């Protein structure tokens, strides 16, 4: 019997949260890896966040049970007992290192990959959608504090240091609900409310006709072996 494979569960939509330290317009390079990435701060008291965490724990626990069974069947019960679970989200800390009461997930996408057939390096980048689900061809500048949902692939991941299993978040798309950019304030921050009059003709210039893909279907037929 072979070791249980980790499988990606594709096209899952996160609850609404706040982007933290996003590198979405331009990838970030760290320890030789170039990735688009962001943290997403979530309120654990919200019912949809609680349901999301429960789903993540289910993915993690199902894989752990499969690994334990495989080790036991291979005559390694001692190793099976050492298989651990780790939290699927982490507590958010403030600048002083104190818990804020919120939780964070971190999602990332490699900015490039090598095509197995041709050997060529190909570029990747996230897809962007607005609050109406319309695809944005040219992404606006996205800063921390932006309210968004993330389209992600989920997969059980093992931390080598202690063989503890959790869940990895592979970034695919960003649904921008309330954009925060370099200006720091939008019109509503000054107490302005919409009035009849001039409308910026370029407001929809960056939209393309593609509708957002269906995230969160949970259809296992879309799973890929890692």
Q: Spell out where 43-183 has E strands.
A: 84-85, 90-93, 99-110, 112-114, 121-123, 127-129, 134-136, 147-159, 164-178
22 located within any domain: yes
On the question of pLDDT at 224 being above 90, the answer is no
Please report whether residue 197 resides in a domain.
no
Give domain status of residue 69, yes or no.
yes
Q: What is the pLDDT of residues 180-209, one digit of tens each?
A: 987 555 555 455 555 665 444 444 444 444
Residue 80 has φ and ψ, to the nearest 5°, of -60, -35
Mean pLDDT for all residues in the chain: 87
> Coil, helix or strand for 119?
coil
Handedness of CA 41, 154, 25, 209 (dihedral sign): negative
On whether residue 21 sits in a domain, the answer given is yes
Please write the tens of the pLDDT for every residue from 87-113.
999 999 999 999 999 999 999 999 998
* Mean pLDDT of the region 53-82: 97
Taking phi first (over 0 means left), then psi (-120 to 50 degrees means alpha), and beta for anything else, what does residue 115 get?
beta
User: Across residues 133-139, what is the average pLDDT?
Assistant: 93
pTM of the model: 0.82
In the three-class reduction of DSSP (H, G, I as helix; E, B as strand; rest coil), residue 71 is classed as: helix
- Asked if the structure places residue 194 within a domain, the reply is no
Residue 129 lies in a domain: yes
Residue 207 included in any domain: no
Q: What is residue 193's predicted lDDT score, i.e. its pLDDT?
A: 59
Which percentage of the chain shows pLDDT scores above 70? 81
* Residue 151 domain boundaries: 7-187
Q: Based on the structure, what is the number of domains in the chain?
A: 1
pLDDT of residue 160: 87
Under the banding of pLDDT at 50, 70 and 90, the label for residue 218 is: very low
Domain contains 217: no
**From 111-120, 127-136, 176-185, the region with the lowest mean pLDDT:** 176-185
Inter-residue contact 63 to 83 (CB < 8 Å): no
* CATH, residue 122: 2.40.50.140
């Amino acid at each position: 019997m072979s070791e249980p494979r980790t499988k990606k569960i594709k096209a899952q939509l996160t609850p609404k949260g706040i982007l933290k330290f996003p590198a979405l317009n331009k990838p970030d390079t760290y320890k030789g890896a170039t990735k688009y990435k962001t943290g997403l701060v979530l309120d654990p008291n919200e019912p949809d966040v609680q349901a999301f965490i429960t789903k993540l724990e289910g993915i993690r626990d199902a894989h752990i049970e499969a690994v334990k069974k495989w080790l036991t069947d291979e005559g390694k019960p001692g190793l099976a007992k050492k298989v651990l679970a780790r939290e699927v989200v982490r507590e958010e800390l403030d600048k002083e290192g104190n818990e804020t009461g919120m939780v964070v997930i971190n999602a990332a996408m490699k900015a490039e990959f090598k095509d197995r057939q041709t050997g060529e390096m190909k570029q990747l980048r996230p897809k962007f959608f607005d609050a109406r689900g319309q695809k944005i061809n040219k992404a606006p500048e996205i800063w921390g504090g932006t309210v968004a949902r993330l389209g992600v692939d989920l997969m059980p991941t093992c931390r080598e240091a202690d063989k503890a299993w959790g869940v990895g978040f592979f970034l695919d798309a960003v649904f921008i609900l309330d954009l925060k950019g370099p200006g720091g304030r939008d019109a509503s921050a000054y107490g302005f409310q919409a009035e009849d009059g001039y409308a910026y003709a370029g407001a929809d210039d960056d939209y393309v006709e593609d509708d957002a893909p269906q995230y969160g279907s949970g259809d296992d037929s879309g799973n890929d072996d890692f």
